[in-house]
């Protein structure tokens, strides 16, 4: 499918695709690894839309769906990674073809181990629906990306609206959760009047904002509280208390029993301090894989830094992986220096 610069036109192309395409036997829907609520909810809502038009979908993610987010998966569209991969391969062996639909990223490498699987090369075609800034060097006409949108869930809401389709409460819940979490509870810069109108409409369809908040932010096991304590004990401040650096090690995960997939929100804690304008979070997963996650306030653009290190993200939330040969301390020091230049 070819997309253009016109948002409404592209929404219509997707509507037409969902309703009318007969080209493929099935559809594989994937989002980025370490999935957040927008990634999970957009897959759930898109699968529901496709299957209501008789399309068979396989949903897959390189990582486990976080326990609280699996509450939005009321149809149980996700199973474990290996199972979904073998379902795709089984269908392929019988001569069936599929279209790959990538949500909440426009770069295949962001899908984690899935990116290296045969399922990418075996797809008849691939389309991306995203809201991250597209860098010039990877633009393609199969990418439908609107960086002005708060979330992919908001884009999928727009698709539902222009179809005049019924949005059941379970899907309204998932879409509202994706929109509210990607906007940091309706406060990030991309929260527009349309974002709030979408949220309002979803609430009128039965979504209870207090219940969604509870699912997203009030379901922590006690291990998480202890992990907070351990991570916060690593806090170091730089550049006149404007850069906060935190670390998470695999030993901390072992000690508290918290899976790595549940540690995404710890990076936000230092932002509560008025002098802090950027946070650098050095994270290690259970297998020792390392990553730098960054958060910032206002016009401090950490996406540019993440991109220059082979990662991606938004102006105020971005990250990149560190290869096993790199020395963590020197990577950390370089990042602190790069951020202090743009403060
Ligand atoms: Mn998103």
The residue ranges of every structural domain in the chain are 7-216, 222-342
pLDDT of 112 above 80: yes
In the reported structure, the alpha carbon of residue 325 is separated from the centroid of ligand 1 by a whole-number distance in angstroms of 30
In the reported structure, the alpha carbon of residue 187 is separated from the centroid of ligand 1 by a whole-number distance in angstroms of 15
Distance CA 288, CA 255 (A): 15
pLDDT of 136 above 80: no
Residues 6+ apart with CB under 8 A from 246: 231, 232, 234, 235, 266, 267, 269, 270, 279, 280, 281, 282
**119 sits in which H/E element:** helix 118-121
pLDDT digits (tens, 9 = 90+) for 176-206: 999 999 999 999 889 999 999 999 999 999 9
In the reported structure, the alpha carbon of residue 110 is separated from the centroid of ligand 1 by a whole-number distance in angstroms of 12
CATH number assigned to the domain covering 222-342: 3.10.310.30
- For residue 184, count CB atoms less than 10 angstroms from its CB and return exposed for 0-12, middle for 13-18, buried for 19 or more: middle
- For residue 136, count CB atoms less than 10 angstroms from its CB and return exposed for 0-12, middle for 13-18, buried for 19 or more: exposed
Angle between helices 193-204 and 152-163 (to 10 degrees): 60
In the reported structure, the alpha carbon of residue 97 is separated from the centroid of ligand 1 by a whole-number distance in angstroms of 28
Query: How many Cβ atoms from other residues are within 10 Å of residue 90's Cβ?
Result: 10
Question: What is the pLDDT, as a whole number, of residue 140?
Answer: 83
Question: What is the pLDDT, as a whole number, of residue 241?
Answer: 98
In the reported structure, the alpha carbon of residue 104 is separated from the centroid of ligand 1 by a whole-number distance in angstroms of 5
Mean pLDDT of 31-37: 95
What is the pLDDT of the chain when averaged over all its residues? 96
In the reported structure, the alpha carbon of residue 147 is separated from the centroid of ligand 1 by a whole-number distance in angstroms of 10
Mean pLDDT of 86-107: 97
In the reported structure, the alpha carbon of residue 219 is separated from the centroid of ligand 1 by a whole-number distance in angstroms of 21
Radius of gyration of the chain (CA): 20
**What is the widest separation between alpha-carbon atoms in the chain?**
63
Question: What is the pLDDT, as a whole number, of residue 267?
Answer: 96
pLDDT digits (tens, 9 = 90+) for 291-302: 999 999 999 999
**155 sits in which H/E element:** helix 152-163
Confidence of residue 281 (pLDDT cuts 50, 70, 90): very high
pLDDT of 334 above 90: yes
Question: What is the pLDDT, as a whole number, of residue 219?
Answer: 87
In the reported structure, the alpha carbon of residue 295 is separated from the centroid of ligand 1 by a whole-number distance in angstroms of 15
Asked whether 78 and 201 are in contact (CB, 8 A), the reply is no
In the reported structure, the alpha carbon of residue 21 is separated from the centroid of ligand 1 by a whole-number distance in angstroms of 26
pLDDT of 326 above 80: yes
Mean pLDDT of 42-47: 98
In the reported structure, the alpha carbon of residue 272 is separated from the centroid of ligand 1 by a whole-number distance in angstroms of 22
Q: What is the pTM of this model?
A: 0.84
pLDDT digits (tens, 9 = 90+) for 11-31: 999 999 999 999 999 999 999
Distance CA 224, CA 120 (A): 35
In the reported structure, the alpha carbon of residue 95 is separated from the centroid of ligand 1 by a whole-number distance in angstroms of 34
In the reported structure, the alpha carbon of residue 133 is separated from the centroid of ligand 1 by a whole-number distance in angstroms of 11
Question: What is the pLDDT, as a whole number, of residue 133?
Answer: 87
Distance CA 158, CA 58 (A): 23
Mean pLDDT of 77-94: 96
In the reported structure, the alpha carbon of residue 76 is separated from the centroid of ligand 1 by a whole-number distance in angstroms of 21
CA dihedral 342, 109, 32, 187 (to 10 degrees): 20
In the reported structure, the alpha carbon of residue 195 is separated from the centroid of ligand 1 by a whole-number distance in angstroms of 13
CATH number assigned to the domain covering 7-216: 3.90.1640.10
Report the percent of the chain where pLDDT is more than 90.
92
Sheet holding 312-314, edge to edge: 236-238, 243-248, 278-284, 290-296, 317-322, 312-314
**162 sits in which H/E element:** helix 152-163
24-40: b (≥16 Cβ within 10 Å) or e = bbbbbbbbbbbbbbbbb
Most confident of 129-138, 217-226, 269-278: 269-278
In the reported structure, the alpha carbon of residue 208 is separated from the centroid of ligand 1 by a whole-number distance in angstroms of 21
In the reported structure, the alpha carbon of residue 131 is separated from the centroid of ligand 1 by a whole-number distance in angstroms of 7
């Amino acid at each position: 499918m070819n997309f253009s610069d016109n948002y409404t036109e592209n929404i219509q192309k997707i509507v037409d695709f969902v309703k009318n395409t007969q080209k493929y036997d099935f559809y594989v829907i994937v989002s980025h690894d370490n999935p957040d609520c927008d990634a999970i909810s957009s897959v759930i809502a898109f699968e529901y839309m496709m299957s209501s038009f008789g399309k068979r979908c396989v949903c897959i993610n390189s990582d486990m769906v976080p326990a609280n987010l699996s509450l939005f998966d009321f149809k149980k569209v996700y199973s474990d990674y290996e199972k979904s991969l073998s379902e795709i391969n089984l269908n392929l062996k019988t001569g069936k073809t599929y279209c790959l639909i990538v949500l909440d990223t426009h770069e295949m490498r962001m899908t984690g181990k899935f990116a290296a699987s045969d399922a990418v090369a075996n797809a008849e075609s691939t389309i991306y629906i995203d809201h991250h800034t597209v860098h010039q060097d990877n633009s393609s006409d199969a990418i439908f990306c609107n960086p002005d949108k708060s979330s992919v869930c908001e884009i999928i809401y727009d698709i539902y609206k222009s179809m005049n389709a019924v949005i059941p409460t379970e899907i309204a819940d998932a879409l509202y959760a994706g929109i509210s979490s990607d906007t940091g509870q309706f406060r990030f810069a991309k929260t527009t009047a349309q974002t709030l109108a979408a949220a309002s409409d979803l609430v009128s369809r039965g979504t209870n904002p207090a219940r969604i908040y509870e699912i997203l932010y009030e379901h922590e096991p006690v291990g998480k509280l202890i992990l907070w304590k351990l991570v916060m004990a690593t806090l170091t401040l730089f550049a006149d208390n404007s850069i906060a650096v935190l670390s998470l090690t695999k030993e901390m995960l072992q000690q508290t029993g918290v899976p790595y997939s549940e540690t995404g929100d710890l990076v936000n804690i230092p932002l509560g301090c008025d002098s802090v304008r950027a946070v650098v979070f050095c994270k290690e997963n259970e297998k020792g894989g390392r990553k730098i996650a960054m958060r910032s306030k206002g016009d401090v653009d950490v996406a540019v830094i993440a991109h220059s290190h082979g990662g991606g993200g938004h102006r105020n939330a971005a990250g990149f992986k560190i290869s096993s040969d790199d020395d963590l301390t020197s990577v950390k020091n370089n990042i602190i220096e790069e951020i202090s230049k743009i403060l």
